[in-house]
Structure 1
Amino acid sequence: MSCKAFFWPTWMRHLLEDVLVRLLRIFNLPLIIACLGSFLFLKFAAVTIRWGEHERGVARKLASSGYGVFALDYPGFGLSDGLHGYIPSFENLVNDVIEHFSKIKEQKKYQDVPSFLLGESMGGAIALNIHFKQPTAWNGAALIAPLCKFAEDMIPHWLVKQILIGVAKVLPKTKLVPQKEEVKDNIFRDLNKRKLAPYNVLLYKDKPRLGTALELLKATQELEQRLEEVSLPLLIMHGEADIITDPSASKALYEKAKVKDKKLCLYKDAFHTLLEGEPDETIFHVLGDIISWLDEHSSRKNTYQAP
Structure 2
Amino acid sequence: MLQSNFLTLIADNMRPSPIMFNVLTQLRKFIPTWKIVPGDDIVELAFRDPKIRQEIRDNPLCYKGRVRLQTAMELYTVTVDLEKKLKDVTMTFLIVHGEDDDVTDPLTSKLLYDSASSTDKTFKLYPGMWHALTYGEFTENTDIVFADAISWINERIARGNSRSERELKSKNDKPPDTDKKKDHN
Give TM-score scaled by structure 1 length. 0.48
> Which of the residues 33, 48, 53 maps onto 1:173?
33
Over the aligned positions, Cα root-mean-square deviation in angstroms equals: 2.1
List runs of 5+ in structure 1 lacking aligned partners: 1-141, 302-307
Aligned equivalent of 1:212: 71
What is the rounded CA distance, in whole Å, between the counterparts of 1:205 and 1:157 in structure 2? Answer: 26
SS at match of 1:186: helix
SS at match of 1:169: helix
Contact 2:102 2:130 in 1 (8 A): yes
Report the Cα offset of residue 192 of structure 1. Answer: 2.4
> Which of the residues 152, 155, 158 maps onto 1:293?
152
List runs of 5+ in structure 2 lacking aligned partners: 162-185
Q: Which has the higher contact order (CA 8 A, sep 6+)?
A: 2
Report the Cα offset of residue 148 of structure 1. Answer: 4.1
What is the rounded CA distance, in whole Å, between the counterparts of 2:103 and 2:14 in structure 1? Answer: 6
Contact 1:154 1:244 in 2 (8 A): no
The question of 1:257 aligning with 2:116 is answered yes
Query: For the pair shown, which has the larger CA radius of gyration, 1 or 2?
Result: 2
The question of 1:147 aligning with 2:7 is answered yes
Q: CA 1:294–1:195 in structure 2 vs 1: closer, same or farther (change >3 Å)? A: same
> Which of the residues 72, 81, 85 maps onto 1:222?
81
> Which of the residues 274, 286, 290 maps onto 2:133?
274
Contact 1:154 1:179 in 2 (8 A): no
SS at match of 2:94: strand
Aligned equivalent of 2:51: 192
1:236-262 CA-to-partner distances (Å, cap 9, x unmatched) read 111111122221011111111111211
Report the Cα offset of residue 168 of structure 1. Answer: 0.8
What is the rounded CA distance, in whole Å, between the counterparts of 1:170 and 1:202 in structure 2? Answer: 27
Report the Cα offset of residue 223 of structure 1. Answer: 0.9
Aligned equivalent of 1:201: 60
Report the Cα offset of residue 159 of structure 1. Answer: 4.4
Report the Cα offset of residue 155 of structure 1. Answer: 4.2
User: Percent identity among equivalent residues?
Assistant: 37
Aligned equivalent of 1:29: none
The question of 1:232 aligning with 2:95 is answered no
What is the rounded CA distance, in whole Å, between the counterparts of 1:171 and 1:188 in structure 2? Answer: 31
SS at match of 1:225: helix
Total equivalences in the alignment: 159
What is the rounded CA distance, in whole Å, between the counterparts of 1:143 and 1:150 in structure 2? Answer: 16
Give TM-score scaled by structure 2 length. 0.76
1:8-46 CA-to-partner distances (Å, cap 9, x unmatched) read xxxxxxxxxxxxxxxxxxxxxxxxxxxxxxxxxxxxxxx
The structure carrying a bigger strand percent of its residues is 1
